[in-house]
């Protein structure tokens, strides 16, 4: 495996920063160029798998970019993958968790029974911004009697202090690249 420094440098070169998208003032991090580089994708998965090996019983991925890497992590570690979706997309039975956005609120859902009480869960998404979505995902996991052991991301936006918001879960937090 390549050193993490190499991986960080390659990610920095590959991820595109799009200013003022989708709203003025937002620096949008576009991860789609990663998929043009299969070897880089492989190195990312190796790195994320190394972080979670031996520490988790299932992976929960957050719609939709959390699926792109989350499924590969789960398959490599031979543990189940559970989809966390935006409200209204999953058939019943499901459970939901509301959370606050800058304006208004949103809700995410998960099929009931797909994670089991006592399981150690990795919550994975592409990017940690304010932490609102991830925190809601973690509450959804805890509501089902499982434990959030780890959070992983490709990118962390440090200025938004999302990590602070996740502190009370007492889980490990890892972002490959921080801005
Ligand atoms: P948050 O709940 O604020 O942590 O937002 C996290 C979710 O919003 C993730 O699923 C990201 O994919 C997306 N997101 C937030 N900010 C950005 C950004 N600057 N660039 C790309 N995606 C973002």
Are 67 and 61 in contact by the 8 Å Cβ rule? The answer is yes
Q: How would you write the pLDDT of the chain (179 residues) with one tens digit per residue?
A: 456 899 999 999 999 999 999 999 999 999 999 999 999 999 999 999 999 999 999 999 999 999 999 999 999 999 999 999 999 999 999 999 999 987 889 999 999 999 999 999 999 999 999 999 999 999 999 999 999 999 999 999 999 999 999 999 999 999 999 99
Q: For a substitution probing ligand 1, which of 16, 34, 103, 129 has the most ligand atoms within 8 Å of its CB?
A: 129
How many alpha carbons lie under 13 Å from residue 88 in its C-beta half-sphere? 2
Residue 140 φ/ψ, nearest 5 degrees: -60, -40
Q: How close is the Cα of 157 to the center of ligand 1, in Å?
A: 9
- Among residues 63, 65, 111, 165, the one annotated as catalytic is 65
pLDDT given for residue 3 in this prediction: 63
Rg (CA), the chain: 16
CATH 3.40.50.2020 corresponds to the domain 55-178: yes
Residue 66: other Cβ atoms inside 10 A: 25
Return the DSSP state at 126. Answer: S
Answer yes or no: are the C-beta atoms of 169 and 147 closer than 8 Å.
Answer: no
| d(CA 165, ligand 1 centre) in Å | 14
pLDDT of residue 171: 98
Confidence at residue 1, expressed as pLDDT on a 0 to 100 scale: 47
Angle between helices 38-52 and 65-77 (to 10 degrees): 60
Residue with the smallest CA separation from ligand 1 atom 9 is 127
């Amino acid at each position: 495996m390549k050193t993490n420094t190499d991986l960080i440098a390659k990610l920095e070169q590959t991820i595109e920063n799009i200013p003022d998208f989708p709203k003025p003032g937002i620096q949008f991090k576009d991860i789609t160029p990663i998929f043009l580089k299969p070897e880089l994708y492989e190195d990312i998965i190796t790195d994320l798998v190394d972080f979670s090996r031996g520490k988790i019983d299932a992976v929960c991925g957050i719609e939709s970019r959390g699926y792109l890497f989350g499924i590969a992590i789960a398959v490599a570690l031979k543990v189940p993958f559970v989809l966390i979706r935006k409200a209204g997309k999953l058939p019943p039975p499901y459970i939901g968790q509301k959370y606050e956005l800058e304006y208004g609120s949103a809700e995410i859902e998960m099929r009931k029974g797909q994670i089991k009480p006592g399981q150690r869960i990795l919550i994975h998404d592409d990017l940690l911004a304010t932490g609102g979505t991830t925190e809601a995902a973690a509450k959804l996991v805890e509501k089902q009697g499982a434990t959030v052991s780890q959070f992983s991301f490709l990118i962390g936006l440090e200025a938004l202090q999302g990590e602070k918001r996740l502190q009370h879960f007492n889980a490990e937090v890892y972002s490959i690249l921080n801005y």
